[in-house]
Amino acid sequence: MSFWRQLTHGLRVLTNRTAADGDLAEEVQDYLDQTTAAFEAKGLRAEEARRAARREIGNAILVREQVRASGWENVVETLLADLRYAARQLRNNPGFAATAILILGLGIGATTAIFSAVNPILFKPLPYPRSDRIMMIFEQRDGGERLPSFGTYEGLSERSRSFEAMAAMKPWQPAIVGIGEPELFEGQRVSAGYFRVLGVLPALGRDFQSADDQYNGPNVVILSDRLWRRRFSGDPQIIGRQITLENSSSQLAVNSSFTVIGVMPAGFENVLAPLAELWAPLQYNPSLPPDSREWGHHLRMVARLHSGVSKEQAASELDAILPAFGKAHAKGFESAGGIPAGVIVTSLHDHVASNVKPALLAILGAVVLVLLIASVNVTNLLLARGAQRRGEFAVRAALGAGQRRLMRQLITESLLLAVLGGTLGIVVAKLGVRVLVALSPPGLPRVAAIRVDSAVLIFALAITTCIGLLVGLVPAIHASRNDPHSGLQQSSRRSIGAHQGVRRSLVVSEVALALVLLVSAGLLLRSLDRLFSIDPGFDASHILTMQVQESGNRYARDDARARLFEQALESMRHLPGIASAAFVSQLPLSGDYEVYGIEFEAYSGQAEAAFRYAVSPDYFKAMRIPLRRGRLLDEGDRAGAPVAVLISESLAKSKFHDRDPIGQRVRMGPNMGHADKPWATIVGVVEDVKQLSLGVNEAEAFYTTPAQWAWVDNAQSVVVRTVGDAASLAAPVRNAIWSVDKDLPVVRVATMENLLAQTEAQRRFALIIFEAFALVALVLAATGIYGVLSGSVTERMREIGVRAALGATRESIVALVVRQGMTLTAFGMAIGLLGAAAASQGIVAMLFGVSPLDPVTYIAVIAMLGSVSLLACGVPAWRAARVDPAITLRAE
């Protein structure tokens, strides 16, 4: 009730101030009249009565002011007046206003954009119910995380009691055929519990059941909402419909007609495979035959903990299960490289964020530095403005404005600036988010969730307010300390010294912050340099690659499939501009990862896990992988001939040290541990090749021809060495493949150089951002130095004039100004060096082959920052040197 009255009364006054004031004036006047009348009634004469009444009541205006000031609306009114005044101030100084708003807008915008990218990845929980219970499970081998095989998954999921649901998954790239153009989709093969683990059920139809996930079970598929709307125009009758899929990732021929059983909800975000649009059951063989794909390490495993079970408890339970299960399936595990040492359980959120966390945190740190520099710069601008407005403040103070009133005015002004800057910042952030997503490395998780949402807006508002207060505070305290007396004397320059002191220390801090950013950017740059100078083991120039995904159903038999790939090679060889061409089962640096076991006759029973490559003989020629010993594979290594194997130098060294491995015998993959299977013979040693990334040293590998491996892979990559530009041959090569079979899906077309660059996409992403930020910091710091020096030159005009009149040379005056500027720079750099040494520890995870205290980087940055600030000193110095002593002295 009373609140309502407060509000309505206050609003009435606010909206109609004249009427309210009139009312009040009338009431006060009436009071005065009645008092007068009362005095008259006592017998005083009219004139006397009026005087007596005035005496009793006091100043009518003061009475009115007293009543006016008591309502809450008065505070609002003052604020509005302050705002109007502030707006007028900015309008009258458009140059200053635009500069400050631009700097703040860029600073706030950059920070907000980065925050909107970092927030969903690092801070927000994943978009699943109780997402903290979702765990990833890995095999532990050689001290690291390795993908589990289906055998491991089956063993653990059958025996473990710690989890509500468990699932294994692998990528799947089926093509939808039969309706319009064949189109290749990203999908996943998952075990039945997959959606239960995530806690999201289909919006339409049903989830997978264990009956769906049977060996040779029914072909059922669940669609994403997007695919359902795009390809099937959101048909509500879709459940039960048959669609035809060409399944490309199974080695077995499968019926290509799939029944749609469900459609996922529109908001479903699949962080484990963000691009996946359809899901089918895994349908592996639970009897785990030892020489089958069930033992390949190509599955990912995810599980949901029972409530009350901790990650550690679950891990130790799984660790306990493993040995007994391993004994029961010794053969299977042998073909998979042995029983893993244990399991590693990490939360899905950590798993999703882990790869990008160091980069994101570093970028977040960098943007905070940029924001700080921007704020310092604007504070400096405000201080300079404050110096020009000293007269104005002095007049206001002299007219009775209190210190607090003046401070409030200044803070209002800086808040207004910040809000305008923040508004611009949100626009900048919206654009920035788009740029970020476009630039983002391919592995960046939750890209779909990166947007300017309410959390981001609140964040922007919060930093805007903080900055408004922060940048306004120093100038406000400054202005309120000014002595109005000296301010009124326009020529007075007495308080300049202290004032310049604050501005100088701000410039010092700007230089220091800029140095921190420059050093970080420099260290990243050097790291990338180091990485790209690493020899990948092959010659990446002039290589074109693409993947051919032969669909399982038409070339069901290995020999038919082998012939298909041979014919494709043949048709490519006749193209002009091609030096050599080959197929490989997994392409280095492409994200492919396939490891199989290999056992050596000389060390019987000991299994080793290594990258397995099935390559056509020209592969080494096309990739220019040097041969170290023995011979390369050739056409003679065909089906039926004794199996020939090449091994990598690392594998040779780890097994045979200095002895000659040529002629040693091995069994690989599905043949391991089978005494009835023939031994294969090592015929040569080739140089190590980087498979995962340039920075990862994992190079134990073996090579066979496809004809001599247990099966012919249905997804193989083409490697073409071209004479000229690699990219320009993409179309002819693809057409050559299609000339053999026009329905073969061809994907992942890229030059090897592109792939090489992609492997370091994350570091490169961080580097681009750091470079941009460092550049901004450098420019802002230089502007800061320039601003302070030119201000100081203007203020010291007279002193400089006197010096010149007394015979100071131009050189000595230039030196005077430059010395002043470079002293600031030197101080800033000294502080910045300490900051950089500390900050570089934060980006250690992103550095490669470079110490965080790398002297080359530090020296280069100091030289660069020094020369830029010298440049910034140059203009004011030049101006000082041109001071005409006659003019300055006459002006006195």
Partner 1 sequence: MDETNTDVIQGTLDMLILKTLSLEPMHGFGIARRVEQISRGVFKVNPGSLLTALQRLERAGWLDSEWRQTENSRRAKFYALTRAGKKQLEVETADWTRRSSAIARVLKAEG
**For binding to partner 1 (CB under 8 A), which residues are involved?**
1-2, 5-6, 9-10, 23-24, 26-28, 30-31, 33-35, 38, 57-58, 62-63, 66-67, 70-71
Q: Which of 643, 649, 655 is nearest to 705 (CA)?
A: 643
Q: Alpha-carbon Rg of the chain, whole angstroms?
A: 38
Residue indicated by tokens 């494709």: 568
- Toward partner 1, which CB reaches closer, 63 or 469? 63
- Toward partner 1, which CB reaches closer, 9 or 530? 9
For residue 172, the SS3 value is strand
- Toward partner 1, which CB reaches closer, 70 or 533? 70
Output the six-digit token pair for 588: 């280095």
What minimum distance in Å lies between the beta carbon of 52 and partner 1?
12
Largest distance between two CA atoms of the chain = 139
- DSSP letters for 630-697: E----TT--TTSPPEEEEEHHHHHHHHTTS--TT-EEEEGGGTT-TTSPPEEEEEEE----SS-TT--
Output the six-digit token pair for 889: 């002295």
What minimum distance in Å lies between the beta carbon of 34 and partner 1?
4
- Toward partner 1, which CB reaches closer, 3 or 438? 3
- Toward partner 1, which CB reaches closer, 69 or 845? 69
Give the torsion sign (CA, 32, 34, 37, 39): negative
What minimum distance in Å lies between the beta carbon of 62 and partner 1?
7
Rounded Cα distance, 335 and 108, in Å? 56
What are the residues whose beta carbons fall under 8 Å from the beta carbon of 820, sequence distance 6 or more? 789, 792, 873
User: Is the CB of residue 528 less than 8 Å from the CB of residue 767?
Assistant: yes
For residue 196, the SS3 value is helix
- Toward partner 1, which CB reaches closer, 6 or 794? 6
Rounded Cα distance, 857 and 775, in Å? 16
The pairing of strands 220-223 and 257-263 is parallel
- Toward partner 1, which CB reaches closer, 8 or 823? 8
Q: What is the DSSP letter of 132?
A: G
What minimum distance in Å lies between the beta carbon of 51 and partner 1?
15
Q: Which of 387, 388, 382, 384 is nearest to 410 (CA)?
A: 382
What minimum distance in Å lies between the beta carbon of 63 and partner 1?
4
Output the six-digit token pair for 429: 């952030």
What minimum distance in Å lies between the beta carbon of 8 and partner 1?
9
For residue 433, the SS3 value is helix
User: Is the CB of residue 446 less than 8 Å from the CB of residue 269?
Assistant: yes
Phi-psi region at 875: left, alpha or beta (left = phi > 0; alpha = psi -120 to 50): alpha
Query: Which helix (H) or strand (E) segment is 768 a member of?
Result: helix 761-795
What minimum distance in Å lies between the beta carbon of 14 and partner 1?
14
Rounded Cα distance, 709 and 711, in Å? 5
What minimum distance in Å lies between the beta carbon of 47 and partner 1?
20
- Toward partner 1, which CB reaches closer, 1 or 675? 1
- Toward partner 1, which CB reaches closer, 28 or 102? 28
What minimum distance in Å lies between the beta carbon of 15 and partner 1?
16
What minimum distance in Å lies between the beta carbon of 7 and partner 1?
9
- Toward partner 1, which CB reaches closer, 64 or 554? 64
What minimum distance in Å lies between the beta carbon of 5 and partner 1?
5
User: Is the CB of residue 17 less than 8 Å from the CB of residue 78?
Assistant: no
Q: C-alpha 222: how far from its chain's center?
A: 31
Q: Which of 745, 752, 731 is nearest to 575 (CA)?
A: 731
What minimum distance in Å lies between the beta carbon of 383 and partner 1?
41
Give the torsion sign (CA, 124, 127, 131, 135): negative
Output the six-digit token pair for 208: 């997978």
What minimum distance in Å lies between the beta carbon of 69 and partner 1?
8
User: From start to end of 156-241, where are the E strands?
Assistant: 163-172, 175-177, 183-184, 187-190, 204-205, 220-223
Rounded Cα distance, 297 and 147, in Å? 5
- Toward partner 1, which CB reaches closer, 56 or 570? 56
- Toward partner 1, which CB reaches closer, 27 or 350? 27
Phi-psi region at 206: left, alpha or beta (left = phi > 0; alpha = psi -120 to 50): beta
Instruction: Report in angstroms the alpha-carbon separations of 644 from 517, 582, 638.
Output: 54, 18, 9
What minimum distance in Å lies between the beta carbon of 774 and partner 1?
57
User: Is the CB of residue 402 less than 8 Å from the CB of residue 145?
Assistant: no
- Toward partner 1, which CB reaches closer, 28 or 83? 28
- Toward partner 1, which CB reaches closer, 69 or 886? 69
Residue indicated by tokens 């790209």: 532
Rounded Cα distance, 601 and 610, in Å? 16
- Toward partner 1, which CB reaches closer, 33 or 884? 33
- Toward partner 1, which CB reaches closer, 50 or 624? 50
- At position 382, the amino acid (one-letter code) is L
What minimum distance in Å lies between the beta carbon of 60 and partner 1?
9
What minimum distance in Å lies between the beta carbon of 488 and partner 1?
33
